Amino acid sequence: MVTTTPPIRNSRRAEGASRPGDKVFLGLSRGSGITLLVIMAAIAVFLTYRAVLAISQDSTNFLTTSEWNPAGQPPVFGIAVLAFGTVVSSIIAMVIAVPVAIGIALFISHYAPRKLAKPLAYVVDLLAAVPSIIYGLWGAIFLVPYLGGLNKWLDDYMGWTYIFDKSSDGVARSLFTVGILLAIMILPIITNVTREVFLQVPKMHEEAALALGATRWEVIRMSVLPFGRSGIISASMLGLGRALGETMAVAVVLSPSFVISGHLLDPGGGTFAQNIAAKFNEANEFGRDALIASGLVLFVITLLVNGAARWIIGRRKEYSGAAA
Amino acid sequence: MSHNAIQDRPPVTTTTAVKHDPLRHARLPRWTPFAVAVGSITAAVGLGLAAGWHSRIQWGLVAATFFVLATYVITTKVEGSRQAKDRVATSLVWVCFILAVVPLLSLAWVTISKGLEVLDPYFLTHSMNGVLDAEAGGGVYHALLGTIEQVGIATLIAAPIGLLTAVYLVEYGGGKLSQAVTFFVDVMTGIPSIVAGLFILATWNLMLGFGPSGFAGAMALAILMMPVVVRSTEEMLKLVPNELREASLALGIPKWRTILKVVLPTAIGGITTGVMLAVARITGETAPVLLLVFGTKLINPNPFEGAQSSLPLYVYEQYAVGTDAAVARAWAAALVLIAFVMILNLVARGIARWKAPKTGR
């Protein structure tokens, strides 16, 4: 009986392939899948090609130079400032957004009154769809003036930490502000994914903890958080990927300069994406190649971050990641 | 024996238990959190007024800190440290929620109130042709037209490819190729929009020598849209019960007709939702449009030739101009954009609820 199964499957496949309609349909759908792979490969290949064209003309070290002047004679450009700004603003965003997002996810899944929970989840879904340029506009016109007070307070009382020391006057168009804005922007996506994982915690685990007399917080610490740990990590990585590649909000809020400064509250600095958006219009063809080279670095970084997130998700089959 | 042991217990213990029942701790009354909240907000406002702080955010933060500390101290005194931790966790979760809601509400409120100042039928039906930066007036028609054309073309490219890829993954999948496609679709979801723009710039504009056009922007948008369509369609196709496929195949219907006539119609609601959500997502993308479509003040109905404009790009340009009139226009265009995206979202979710696939349970 066992041996009869494979022949049936084989014959069905053979029959299916013999029909012309099936052949065409399979070809079309497989072709689409291959098209996607080709696009991914093409992105990597063409960006690398243009980047190599640019970097081979660069008169300094591309990775460690903190200057951007591809039109100069000889051309001088490097990504040190951009890498620093991108990493710092993303770290600030993550430090703020991840705990708050976990809090909101717990609120929706375990704390909110039942009637409130569903509409709330819905609203968070909608917020994830707000275009980034609108966050940017709001950030530049509303958040920046409001953060003046907070910046002054941080400077007065935390100035001794060096990073919160505000050495120059001026509005809060700093990496710190960018980090806060990015945190607000990535909150919805981290919350969404985390909440989905929290809802999948087996009811039995929670009820067992409750039956042992645990308080609600102990239930969360003993059963919800351990179960959701990998989900939280991967959600954070997805958020990090967004924060790293965010262009318009940063371009609108930051007042860029090509200086690496540990004083986070000072205006200045830059990120990969912001620099591309800001320098694009004035760049000639070689300048555009230089920008493409910096874009390639961004591409590789986000690829690594997202790949790691997917790998962590992939180890847990129960969670599909569809909402991402 | 055990029976005896139970009876041996002197009845005295029960009376002491009634006096000092270990199962019932002292509890704080239910209104305690409200009282503590009112108290800490009053204290923070008083402190803020006394010290002359201008930032309302600071007041809120101080109030939140007071609230958490007061809750902890009071609960530890009355209910013990485990309950105290629980209450602190509860209040922290509430604080997180409020912290997040404040900026998001402010964003919605500001966009709506500022946008409505300028938004009227004239704004929707006129372009910026001949309007000076500092001058009020002008409109968003050219940008709206550009957005609709670019997003339309992007959807025409991305939706069929995405749909067929999802069909391949679910209906024909299982091999090495489908594993690779699944992985790279996931990775593709995370491509920064500006990188997609740079890719089209490197190939279409720099290597093939075409100028900026709506079509170039649409191609970049299509790259961003494809993985989203694939993921959502895949999830929907997986929900279609296998019995339906088997019933159709058992009737001798070829696989491709089974997919077209049975599987896809069953999942059509969810697939439509996914495509519309993807459309909503790319509508707000600014970066690739900035690189590839370039922006113009004029109405250019031809997406294949010459610079166009688009809503998010218009918002960016008007903000960059910086005059009062221009910033007011930026807010109005932002409101149009957000309304467009939200309507797409709401309709998509409506369809999802209305046409949810019957999973047989």
Q: Does residue B19 form part of some domain?
A: yes
pLDDT at B8: 54
Q: Does residue B7 form part of some domain?
A: yes
pLDDT at B17: 45
- The top-scoring range by mean pLDDT among A66-75, A95-104, A195-204, A259-268 is A95-104
Q: Does residue B223 form part of some domain?
A: yes
pTM confidence score: 0.85
The answer to whether residues B273 and B220 belong to one domain is yes
Residues A291-316 have pLDDT tens digits of 999 999 999 999 888 888 778 777 76
The answer to whether residues B99 and B179 belong to one domain is no
| Closest chain A residue by Cα to residue B204 | A46
Instruction: Indicate if the pLDDT at residue A1 is higher than 50.
Output: no
The answer to whether residues B96 and B161 belong to one domain is no
pLDDT at B21: 57
pLDDT at B5: 47
| Closest chain B residue by Cα to residue A321 | B231
Residues A66-104 have pLDDT tens digits of 888 888 888 888 889 999 999 999 999 999 999 999 999
Contact B203 A248 (CB under 8 A): no
**CB contacts < 8 Å between A and B, how many?**
284
Contact B167 A19 (CB under 8 A): no
How far off is chain A from B131, nearest CA to CA, in Å?
Answer: 22
* Structural domains of chain B, count: 2
ipTM, two decimals, is 0.85
Residue carrying the six token digits 């709206």: B144
Helix (H) or strand (E) holding A83: helix A80-106
Instruction: Indicate if the pLDDT at residue A323 is higher than 50.
Output: no
Instruction: Indicate if the pLDDT at residue A137 is higher than 90.
Output: yes
The answer to whether residues B109 and B145 belong to one domain is no
Q: Which of A29, A123, A154, A189 is best to mutate for the B interface (most B CBs within 10 A)?
A: A29
Q: Does residue B132 form part of some domain?
A: no
Q: Does residue B332 form part of some domain?
A: yes
Section A245-263 average pLDDT: 87
Residues B187-234 have pLDDT tens digits of 888 889 999 999 999 999 888 988 889 999 999 999 999 999 999 999
The answer to whether residues B258 and B321 belong to one domain is yes
Q: Does residue B131 form part of some domain?
A: no
Low-confidence ranges of chain B (pLDDT < 50): 1-2, 4-5, 13-18, 360-361
Residues of chain A neighbouring B251 (CB-CB closer than 8 A): none
pLDDT at A17: 52
Contact A50 B83 (CB under 8 A): no
Contact A133 B110 (CB under 8 A): no
Q: Does residue B278 form part of some domain?
A: yes
Contact A36 B226 (CB under 8 A): yes
Which residues, 6+ apart, have CB-to-CB distance to A228 below 8 Å?
A194, A197, A198, A201
In this structure, of A84-98, A148-162, A239-253, the range with the lowest mean pLDDT score is A148-162
Mean pLDDT over all residues of chain A? 84
The answer to whether residues B325 and B204 belong to one domain is yes
CB-closest option in B194, B201, B257 to A273: B194
Give the C-alpha separation, A43 to B200, whole Å.
9
Section A138-144 average pLDDT: 89
Instruction: State percent of chain A over pLDDT 70.
Output: 91
Three-state secondary structure of B306-318: CCECCHHHHHHHH
Cross-strand bridge partners of residue A257: A269
pLDDT at A62: 86
Could you tell me which residue, A156 or A40, shows the higher pLDDT? A40
Is the CB of residue B154 less than 8 Å from the CB of residue B193? Answer: no
Query: Can you give the CATH number for the domain in which B290 is found?
Result: 1.10.3720.10
- The top-scoring range by mean pLDDT among A115-119, A160-164, A233-237, A293-297 is A293-297
Residues B242-288 have pLDDT tens digits of 999 999 999 999 999 999 999 999 888 889 888 998 998 899 898 99
Residues of chain A neighbouring B271 (CB-CB closer than 8 A): none
Q: Quote the domain boundaries for residue B228.
A: 141-354
Architecture of domain A80-314: Orthogonal Bundle (1.10)
The separation between CA B206 and the C-alpha centre of its own chain, rounded to angstroms, equals 34
Contact B202 A49 (CB under 8 A): yes
Residues of chain A neighbouring B286 (CB-CB closer than 8 A): 131-133, 247-248
The answer to whether residues B91 and B225 belong to one domain is no
The answer to whether residues B232 and B193 belong to one domain is yes
Q: Does residue B154 form part of some domain?
A: yes
Give Cα separations from A235 to A125, A179, A232, B83, B288 (angstroms). 15, 18, 5, 30, 25
